[in-house]
Amino acid sequence: MSDNRLAALVGDARPVLLDGGMGTLLQDSGLEDGNPGELWNLENPDAIRAAHTSYAEAGARILTTNTFGGTRPRLDMHGLGDRLHEVNQRAAEIARSVADEHGLLVAGDLGPTGELLAPLGTMTPEDAQGFYADQLRGLVAGGIDLVLVETLSDLGEADAAIAAAREVAPDLPIVVTMSFDTNLRTMMGVRPGDAVTHLAAAGADAVGANCGRGPEEMEVIAAEMVAARPDGLLLVAQSNAGLPQVVGDHFEYDATADDMAAHASRLAGIGVDLVGGCCGSTPTHIAAIGSELTSA
């Protein structure tokens, strides 16, 4: 595995504990529905720092920048497009400051652009690569250690993100996770095994699944990925904390911290290398996963 850049970065202790959801934490801190969490990198950095710190204290070894919606099309929706570089650089700097205090790594987070590639939409592969390259320049300036492309459904968009990473940050490891939430396929019909084969060939150091419909489905998806894994590729799983249920005036996810810990143990058992959480996962969930993995 010596030629895998991520394996070299994280070392031999597996699975590596990732962090959990950011949006849920920020909403608990007062971010209003519909407002972009990325704005808080500029206007409420203390809340972002506190979120990263809570994950660091829960045992996460990699902190993810608060930039899921940090591409130009998404920032433009909120009138923030002209501050793109600043939004992403500040996000990376905040995560970096917490990571440095705790001896951790920082993943620069690239989410879906929100645009569809032609022929379904009007975005070209060159457009998509440009959007991701612009975002990455800000993240690299802020000091990230690796690139995390997450929650994608289209392999073409993933290819564009990988190309952007090779253009802007050729030395950094690349992790790509897709969301298989439609009958164990992505919205665009991609199967887990096919994603592994395609993305490994495209140059990803780690491939995996995030979000989705909860731990049980994630374990089925992870098993398909393990079966398709080529030598040297790391695998990632970050499930939602179950499914959202309406409780009073808000949503709560139905997987407990103990549920997620047992789930992580099963993932480790089949060979998943990096385990964390996605929507609804809190530092409490991540701490429980960490305790389970270290005692196993």
Whether the CB-CB separation of 29 and 51 falls below 8 Å is answered with yes
**Share of residues in the chain with pLDDT > 90 (%):** 93
In this predicted structure, the answer to whether residue 66 has a pLDDT above a threshold of 50 is yes
- Section 158-166 average pLDDT: 98
**Overall size of the chain counted in residues:** 296
For residue 278, give the nearest of 68, 54, 34 by alpha carbon: 68
C-alpha–C-alpha distance, residues 130 and 133, integer Å? 5
Q: What is the mean pLDDT of the chain?
A: 96
110-148: string of b/e by CB count within 10 Å (b at 16+)? bbbbebbbeeeeebeeebbbbbbbbbbbbbbebbbbbbb
Q: What is the model's pLDDT at position 2?
A: 46
Q: Bigger pLDDT: 295 or 81?
A: 81
In this predicted structure, the answer to whether residue 1 has a pLDDT above a threshold of 80 is no
pLDDT digits (tens, 9 = 90+) for 106-161: 999 999 999 999 999 999 999 999 999 999 999 999 999 999 999 999 999 999 99
3-state SS track over 133-195: HHHHHHHHHHCCCEEEEEEECCHHHHHHHHHHHHHHCCCCCEEEEECCCECCECCCCCCHHHH
